Amino acid sequence: MARSFRIVVCGPPHSGKSVFVQQLRDRLLSTGLIGVIEGCPDGEGGWAGATDQDLVGDLRVKGKFTPEFVDWVIRSVSEAQQPVTLVDVGGIRSPENQRIFRECDAFIVLANPEKVGPDGRSELELWHEFGEAMGCRPLALLWSVLHGESSLDSQPDAEVISGTQAGLERGTRVESPVIDALVQCLTLLAGIAFAPGELEAGVHTGRLVKGLGISTAEQDSRLGIRPWHAAPSVALSRAALDGDVCRVWGAGPSWLYAALACAARGSVELWDIRLGYVLVPELQLAIEPDGLQWRVEEHDGVRVVSFSIPGGVISVDDLAAIHPPVLPQGAPVVLSGRGPHWLMVSVAAAYARAGHPVAVLALHETGQALPDGRAWSDAHPGEAPAVVVASGGDWQIGRMITVPVGLAKA
């Protein structure tokens, strides 16, 4: 298999890097040709861009730039299997970022023109110099401004894309010639008809959305899949879910993967851009939970089970040691936690096998309009949504459950 082409997205703090990556992610992740690795433990990422911005500050949990985290990023980058991988890094030219750059091939710089270094030179120039010193070539050198208009300064055949990108605010979709040029460039770099693992999939989310009738205009990094698509998705995938092994490939929300896994009669494998297909194991519940940091709180008869990863890094090998907490028989469960899809899906499937109705937190839904056109914050102030992935009682798959925002923070 050909090696992934790895691109760092860098620049000083508050230059809009994570938002910019989200714009590229929304346009390209559905192709399966582009992977994204979040190389800074700042608590931002795809979820923050899609979530109601009034809730992001309450829910964001900053991690630490530990040696274990950097090692995880390096492994993720070096083992990435998608044709093109974007790596979103922190805003400091640090030894940690030097290690990440050395694993990559090219870089994109975003910098505010008013930001200068100690020597008076612009941050754009300093990051350009830093990237080349690490052995990477510049792919795009961009000024980032909050207000004004975006402009593309480079010619179509230029080796380096240059220009000004405006309006990189979380929670908005940005249209600009700069983003269009980079999307075209990254698509050409991917340059293959099928992504790794795509042809082996029993459930292909890109094909699934066509069966669901979701138009291209409605699609984003989660392909436009909403909670009311949960039951139809399971129905459309039933033949694959009834097999001994069902492989799921493509972009989508965590709750979708969990709903498919909870409905499967055999085993399920999820595509991971670094690891390939990962088997969802049968975790065992325990009176004394282990493997993760667990918290259980009760709200209106619902158990909100939150988990976090000690040290912020987890591997597939760690799954065998994970034992979620035992709960009262049949108690409805809402799951909250950050980590790879295969971690959340493994925990959800464990509770579903034990006979619990299960819902998975879906913070990105707070940034979407409800079917009646209202904003989430207007309809459910102070509450966070979860999507039912395993039915029981009046909890039917696809139903949105609400929990207080304070319980949604893992």
* Cα dihedral across residues 276, 234, 322, 383: positive or negative: positive
Examine the pLDDT at 43 and tell me if it is beyond 60: no
Q: What is residue 323's three-state secondary structure?
A: strand
Q: Taking Cα atoms as reference points, which of 127, 98, 84, 105 lies closest to residue 39?
A: 98
Strand 137-145: give its sheet, edge to edge.
34-39, 84-89, 5-10, 106-111, 137-145, 161-166, 151-152
pLDDT of residue 166 exceeding 70, the answer is yes
- Please say if the pLDDT value at position 44 is more than 70: no
Task: Place 197 in a pLDDT band, splitting at 50, 70 and 90.
Answer: confident
Predicted pLDDT of residue 410: 52
Per DSSP, what are the bridge partners of residue 204? Answer: 249
Position 288 scores a pLDDT of 95
Task: Kindly tell me if the per-residue pLDDT of 53 is higher than 50.
Answer: no
Which of residues 212 and 359 earns the better pLDDT score?
359
For residues 100 and 75, the answer to whether their CB atoms sit within 8 Å is no
406: pLDDT strictly greater than 90: no
- Which carries the bigger pLDDT value, residue 190 or residue 142? 142
| pLDDT tens profile 54-103 | 554 554 445 566 888 889 899 989 888 888 899 999 899 999 999 999 99
Instruction: Tell me: pLDDT of 122 over 90.
Output: yes
166 three-state secondary structure: strand
Strands 267-272 and 151-152: unpaired
Nearest CA to 72 out of 103, 28, 33 is that of: 103
Which pTM value belongs to this model?
A: 0.73
- The answer to whether residues 82 and 35 touch, using CB atoms and an 8 Å cutoff, is yes
Average pLDDT for 350-364: 95
Domains of the chain: 5-190 (3.40.50.300), 198-407 (no CATH)
Question: Which is more confident, 82 or 336?
Answer: 336
CA 391 from chain center: how many Å? 25
pLDDT at 59: 46
pLDDT at 146: 92
Average pLDDT over residues 198-208: 87
Question: Token pair of 80, please?
Answer: 């990435």
Range of lowest pLDDT (119-128, 220-229, 293-302, 352-361):
220-229
Residue 209 has pLDDT above 70, yes or no: yes
pLDDT at 409: 65
Instruction: Report the SS3 class of residue 211.
Output: helix
pLDDT above 80: residue 289: yes
- Is it the case that residue 232 has pLDDT exceeding 90? yes
User: Residue 74: which of 107, 46, 94, 101 has the closest Cα?
Assistant: 101
Least confident of 29-38, 102-111, 198-207, 346-355: 29-38
Average pLDDT of 231-247? 94
* pLDDT of 396 strictly over 90: yes
- Which position has the higher pLDDT, 60 or 235? 235
Query: Looking at the DSSP assignment, which residues form a beta bridge with residue 84?
Result: 5, 34
Pick the more confident residue, 44 or 174. Answer: 174
